[in-house]
A and B are shown apart, each in its own frame.
Chain A
Amino acid sequence: MAHLVLGYPSLAESLHTAEAYINAGVEILEVQIPFSHPTADGPVITLACQEAVAQGISMQDCIEAIRALRARFPMQEIMVMSYVNRIYAYGFQRFVTEMKAEGVQHLIVPDLPVDLSSALGSADATVKFVPVLAANTSDARLEKLLNMGFDFFYLMSDFKITGSGFSLHPRLQAIVAKIKSRPMPPRIGIGFGISTPAQARLVLEEADVAIIGSALIQAQKAGKLEEYLESLQDVFQA
């Protein structure tokens, strides 16, 4: 799964970036709605968000960008990530309806505990929220979330913010095993701090999906996005 911030460095360029990801063969495109204060992100994504916000990217702009991507790539799996206040300002139900119309099946809202997603008026069986868990999630909590029918679990590689060095917390294996022990196991993605192909391969030994964000933005900033995507080719094939 490859992450980008809509509107960074501009709306048109972020759409080109998405195309580059998809053409390189990423399985899932993760599109982040920019927010002024991304509370769980590291400096790279925070800066990208703030630059996008400074251009006045509205929710309508974001939805139209997703629509354009959908039109171009009808079969591409797209997950949308947003902090909760942008969705709140737009209206939860309205947002979920729009996402459904664009064939987005997963929403990642890092500051919204997934249990609350339906209470906020966003219940829709075809658009699922993605629990973002770390190694300190208790067994009872994991059990509860598994019973709630979420079909994609996003695991934080370790206790850190995005883009801040790579390590895999030893307890993740147990969490992965518990999720995989289900009869119809949800997919598992692992992210936070993955930057090299070797790290991505290591993650794929545990998870179905390796998630790369900050490293892509840094490569793009350095004008080396194509080279970087090329270096990940065997990961995409895996």
Chain B
Amino acid sequence: MIMDLTATRYRDLILDSKGGFGTPNPQPYGGSYIPEVLLPGLQEIAAAFDHFKYDAGFLADFSDTLRTFSGRPTAFTPLPRLTEAIGGAQIFLKNEGLNHTGAHKITHCIGQILLAQRLGKQRIIAETGAGQHGYATAAVCARFGLDCTVYMGKKDYERQRPNVYWMELLGTKVVAVEEGSQTLNDAVIAAFKDWVANPDSYYLLGSAVGPHPYPAMNTFFQKIVGEEIRQQCEETTGRLPDYCVACVGGGSNAMGMFFDFLDEETVQLIGVEAGGRGTKPGEHAAKVKRGKKGIFEGYHSYFLQDEDGNIAATHSVSAGLDYCGVSPILAFLADEGRVQFETASDEAALAAVKKLAQLEGIIPALESAHAFAYAFELAAELPKDKIVVVNASGRGEKDLFITMRHFQEDSLIAYAQHLLQK
């Protein structure tokens, strides 16, 4: 197929897509593969999104809330000591971890809650993996006075306990899902089932995945990340980045970072998936690198699955990347060769947390650490005049008990014993 190379080709294609991306056989990626009962709810949200994405009042409200509630714009930070230590390209960081609730997730939560509010919704349903999306959803629901129920796989519930506590403190009901592998896709399914039983609720889906309009809608809200990087990088360095690197679980932070650069041919876009602890099924969460095409949870994309189309178990040290599917927009951009995909292992991500903490005073979320792990390798191979920007999609405080177990297990046990004695 010959592509029409106009200046805003990919961006227009994605935002005006009506939910279908590219031309793989037999249908485009994305779509809306959902039980009929969910169709009216999704159509209502899609129509509202189509209307409000061009509504000046809505957009002003969105950007105002981002500024006053979440603290945008987030910092664009040079990393001179790290750059020197690695000895290659100049490395910069977009600090999305400075957002309220600690990650980029709050941005699409604000966008969607403003939409839910305009639709007159009273109750919000959400799923969460690492807990960042759930925490952000809980915060916007409290802020806007809406009831909130968050579904979380039991494994994630246990390993991300601090976020469970924050959600509950914010007045959200958190349900630990005991089915399946007890991670993100089980939470997504539980949230869908709640929506089937309660079709008047608003399902605030938390990544660039799921049925239309979520992939395009969350990309639309998140694209401010790339827009800020464009401006900040030009102000700081006088030009655009050569490489943008983001971790990929479902793909919301990656799409947020990449979107504004999709039609800039000089900017290379790299998504880093969770390499986990090996390449066998169940040891990683690398969908684009090691999955195959499928239709699940409402959309057509790459999924980790077995020969028979049963969804495979996934593993990552980071709960936010421990998911079986990937944004249909990223599947399309991967096939096009526009976004390059790499992996980083659990070990490499943990090492990256320590390196960034000790050389630059910034503790990234384990999810984002995957992007850093790959970016360090990349930068080392590049000449000094190249610019690599890494999206620090979240901050690492939520991973306290995971990283502490890895780096200082004795102190963690001592602290737990101390708490028990009280």
Contact = CB atoms under 8 A, between A and B. Distances in A.
Nearest to A132: B36
A60 to B, nearest CB: 9
Contact of A39 (B27, B189, B307, B308): B189
Max count, chain B CB within 10 A of own CB: residue among A136, A137, A160: A136
Contact of A156 (B31, B37, B303): B37
Nearest to B300: A88
Interface stretch (A16-24, A69-77, A115-123, A199-207): A115-123
Interface in A82-130: 84-90, 92, 110-114, 116, 119-121
A43 B31 CA distance: 27
Interface size on B, as a range, is 35 or more
B295 interface: yes
B332 to A, nearest CB: 17
A35 B310 contact: yes
B36 A59 contact: no
Interface in B269-328: 293-298, 303, 305, 307-311
A136 B40 contact: yes
B37 A159 contact: yes
A88 B189 CA distance: 19
B199 A88 contact: no
A58 B308 contact: yes
A129 B66 CA distance: 46
A37 B311 contact: yes
A4 B199 CA distance: 27
A138 B241 CA distance: 49
Max count, chain A CB within 10 A of own CB: residue among B41, B293, B309: B309
Given A40-B193, A88-B294, A89-B308, A133 B198 contact: no
Contacts, number: 111
Contacts of B40: 136-138
A120 B196 contact: no
A176 to B, nearest CB: 16
B310 A36 contact: yes
Nearest to B292: A89
A46 B179 contact: yes
A113 B310 contact: no
Interface string B24-66: 0011000111111101110000000000000000000000000
A134 interface: yes
A187 B394 CA distance: 53
Nearest to A119: B27
A173 B34 CA distance: 24
Interface string B223-249: 000000000000000000000000000
A136 B37 contact: yes
Interface size on A, as a range, is 35 or more
Given A46-B179, A85-B303, A161-B196, A120 B27 contact: yes
B151 interface: no
Nearest to B31: A116
A182 interface: no
B291 to A, nearest CB: 12
Contacts of A113: 32-34, 36, 39
A213 interface: no
Contact of B199 (A85, A138, A159): A159
Contact of A131 (B36, B199, B293, B294): B36
Nearest to B298: A111
A172 B294 CA distance: 33
Contacts of A89: 294, 305, 307-309
A203 to B, nearest CB: 18
Max count, chain B CB within 10 A of own CB: residue among A35, A36, A138: A36
A220 interface: no
Contacts of B193: 39-40, 42, 161
Nearest to A110: B35
Given A111-B295, A156-B37, A159-B196, A92 B26 contact: yes
Interface in A6-59: 35-37, 39-40, 42-43, 46, 50, 53, 57-59
A117 B34 CA distance: 13
Nearest to B33: A111
Nearest 4 pairs of A and B residues by beta carbon: A89-B309, A36-B310, A134-B37, A86-B309
Given A89-B309, A164-B197, 14 more contacts: A35-B310, A37-B186, A53-B310, A59-B308, A87-B309, A88-B309, A90-B309, A116-B31, A120-B26, A121-B26, A133-B36, A136-B37, A159-B197, A159-B199
10 contacts: A35-B309, A37-B185, A59-B308, A85-B305, A85-B310, A87-B309, A113-B34, A119-B27, A131-B36, A136-B40
